Amino acid sequence: MFEYFYHEILRRTIIAFGSLFNEITIKRKNDSDNVFSVVKVPLAYGPTQKFLARLEQSPDLNKPVQITLPRMSFEFIGLNYDPTRKVSQTQSFLVH
């Protein structure tokens, strides 16, 4: 009757979105517009609240560090149907 096929489309979409923002760097310049520091921004998949909750629960993770880097994360929240994109059933496509 109805068979379900999973071709890893959601996984591939998440990987493709993450690869768009994978190579973000911050360049720090001095007054004469010379670059003196380049910092790569790490990208993580997952909710920020989960990361913050982990820091609050374990006091060992709040050890003083030598340098603090910027951090970015993203997550997949949901999938919604868009009825405006539906093609009517009377419309057909012909291939020659």
pLDDT band at 83 (very low <50, low <70, confident <90, very high): confident
Instruction: Report whether pLDDT(66) > 70.
Output: no
pLDDT digits (tens, 9 = 90+) for 14-64: 889 889 988 889 899 999 989 998 888 888 888 777 767 776 776 666 566
Which pLDDT score is estimated for 34? 92
Name every residue whose Cβ is closer than 8 Å to that of residue 40 and which is 6 or more positions away in sequence: 23, 24, 25
Question: How many helices and strands (H and E) does the chain possess?
Answer: 2, 4
pTM above 0.85, yes or no: no
47-55 contacts, C-beta under 8 A, 24 or more apart = 47/73, 47/75, 48/73
